[in-house]
Amino acid sequence: MSDPKEQLQKDVERTRRELGETVEALAHKADVPGRVKEQAHETAAKLTAATNEAIASLPDPVAEQVEKARRHPAAIAAVLIALVLVIWKLSRRNG
């Protein structure tokens, strides 16, 4: 049979370890900004993977154009803004 003092020491060490794990888990839960960043990175990685898969499934000429557009996001944004403005002006004129 083991020494009661040794058993008590083992119980204390186990309790400390469990308490440390609990404190870490609570700290992680309380770190809302950190969890949001974590989730954002995971979501971005999933979207990137899905985008790459979608582009890979396109015919080669289309995939090449998409890749060119991905390298120049500011130009795409400018075209989209211009398109929205044209649609807005036309809808105001007709409305």
Q: At 33, list the tokens.
A: 């900004």
The label of the residue with tokens 């609990």 reads 22
Query: In this prediction, what percent of the chain has a pLDDT beyond 90?
Result: 51
Residue 45 binned pLDDT confidence (cut-offs 50, 70, 90): very high
Structure tokens at 90: 């036309």
Any idea which of 17-21, 37-41, 67-71 has the lowest mean pLDDT?
A: 67-71
* Mean pLDDT calculated for residue range 66-72: 84
Residue type, 86: V
20 — phi, psi (to 5°)?
-60, -45
